[in-house]
Amino acid sequence: MNTLPLLENDLEKSPFRQFARWFEEAKQRQPQFHEAMTVSTCGADGVVSSRMSLLKGFDEHGFVFYTNYNSRKGKQLSENARISLCFFWAALDRQVRVEGVAVKTTAEESDAYFASRPRGSQLGAWASSQSSVIAGRGDLDARFAELETSYRERQIPRPPHWGGYRVIPVEIEFWQGRADRLHDRFVYRLREPRDWVIERLSP
Burial class of residue 196 (count of CB atoms within 10 Å of its CB; 0-12, 13-18, 19+): buried
Helix spans in the chain (H): 15-29, 72-79, 107-116, 119-127, 137-150
In the residue annotation, 178 being an active-site residue is answered as no
What is d(CA 14, CA 19) in angstroms, rounded to the nearest whole number?
9
User: ∠ CA(106), CA(168), CA(196), 5° rounding?
Assistant: 145
Which position among 152, 181, 191, 194 bears the catalytic label? Answer: 181
Nearest to 77 by CA among 164, 171, 10: 164
Counting runs of H as helices and runs of E as strands, what totals does the chain give? Answer: 5, 9
Is residue 201 within 8 A of residue 103, CB to CB? The reply is no
What is d(CA 159, CA 123) in angstroms, rounded to the nearest whole number?
10
Q: Which residues are catalytic?
A: 181
